[in-house]
């Protein structure tokens, strides 16, 4: 069976043995196993009862990034905190895919008042032997223009953050959220992590490489997403999060594709699509 739904989790199964799991809460991908290796990180302390966003996997950020004073929504919006509809399975050649949908009429009254737009989101998760593809389509069902941010907040599992590096961001401008949003230009060919890192790299190329430190390389190719966030909470912030183990910062890195530095403007009746393909080198 290529896909099955159980206890509000959809499991994709590929003939190669690769698997992926997606929670209907947030349409959050919570597992991706390829070549017998789990590629995504989910905290051992993650809350999985639907009371808050899942700490790990690939939470889906929409329609705001962070918090916005003029838009009274929870941090990173409502998409990762909402139950999505499962639309079913698609198969094409060597791919197994599932789709999920979220509409404005599924939101709470407060959410609809805070972001009063008519919309439809369709999220497609596709599994192959060596790839995971996650793509979001946004349709503006209003007549007026809609503005939004979106991001795929991907948590990658690594054995030791000290040996991890990200390539492909050299020479790009970034906003350093640890330094209060100060901007700078990246001068390293390989970005390594030795302290808290929370950087929004702006308008960057579509191809990145994550070296996981154990001889494995993951290629991240984005489409329709202008920016990339690199995040690791490090010691102090890890200790301050109730749904994240104190020492788990050693075991993860977030490399997140999105459009967050500027608003995406979508005219009434129009559709926008963006996402990523993660490949095992």
Phi, psi of 25, deg, nearest 5: -80, 110
- Closest among 92, 172, 97, 154 to 127, alpha carbons compared: 97
Cβ-in-10-Å burial (0-12, 13-18, 19+) of 275 comes to buried
- Closest among 127, 103, 167, 145 to 12, alpha carbons compared: 127
Q: Which one is catalytic: 14, 76, 248, 256?
A: 256
Cβ contacts of 39 within 8 Å, gap of 6 or more: 32, 33, 132, 156, 157, 218, 278, 280
117 as an active site residue: the answer is no
Q: Which one is catalytic: 14, 76, 153, 248?
A: 153
267 as an active site residue: the answer is no
Annotated ligand binding at 39? The verdict is: no
Cβ atoms of 138 and 119 within 8 Å: the answer is yes
Cβ atoms of 3 and 11 within 8 Å: the answer is yes
C-alpha 4/C-alpha 13 separation (Å) is: 8
Annotated ligand binding at 99? The verdict is: no
**Other beta carbons within 10 Å of 6:** 8
Cα-Cα-Cα-Cα dihedral sign, residues 11, 57, 33, 208: positive
Cβ atoms of 275 and 61 within 8 Å: the answer is no
Annotated ligand binding at 80? The verdict is: yes
Q: Which residues are catalytic?
A: 153, 256
Residues of the binding site: 55, 75, 80
Residues forming the annotated binding site for substrate?
Answer: 55, 75, 80
């Amino acid at each position: 069976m290529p896909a099955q739904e159980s206890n509000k989790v959809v499991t994709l199964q590929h003939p190669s043995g690769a698997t992926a799991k997606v929670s209907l809460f947030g349409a959050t991908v919570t597992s991706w196993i390829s070549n017998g290796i789990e590629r995504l990180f989910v905290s051992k302390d993650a809350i999985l009862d639907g009371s808050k966003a899942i700490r790990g996997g690939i939470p889906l950020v929409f329609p705001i990034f962070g918090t916005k004073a003029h838009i009274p929504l929870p941090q990173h919006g409502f998409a990762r905190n909402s139950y999505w509809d499962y639309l079913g399975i698609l198969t094409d050649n060597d791919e197994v895919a599932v789709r999920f949908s979220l509409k404005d009429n599924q939101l709470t009254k407060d959410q609809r008042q805070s972001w009063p737009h008519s919309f439809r989101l369709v999220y497609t998760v596709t599994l192959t032997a060596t790839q995971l593809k996650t793509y979001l389509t946004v349709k503006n069902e209003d007549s007026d223009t809609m503005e939004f941010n979106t991001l795929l907040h991907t948590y990658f599992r690594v054995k030791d953050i000290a040996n991890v590096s990200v390539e492909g961001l050299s020479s790009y401008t970034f906003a350093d959220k640890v330094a209060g949003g100060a901007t700078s230009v990246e001068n390293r060919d390989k970005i390594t992590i030795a302290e808290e890192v929370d950087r929004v790299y702006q308008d960057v190329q579509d191809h990145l490489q994550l070296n996981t430190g154990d001889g494995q390389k993951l290629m991240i190719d984005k489409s329709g997403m202008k920016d990339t966030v690199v995040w690791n909470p490090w010691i102090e912030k890890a200790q301050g999060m109730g749904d994240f183990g104190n020492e788990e910062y050693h075991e993860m890195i977030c490399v997140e594709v999105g459009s967050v530095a500027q608003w995406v403007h979508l005219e009434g009746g129009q559709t926008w699509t963006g996402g990523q393909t993660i490949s095992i080198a």
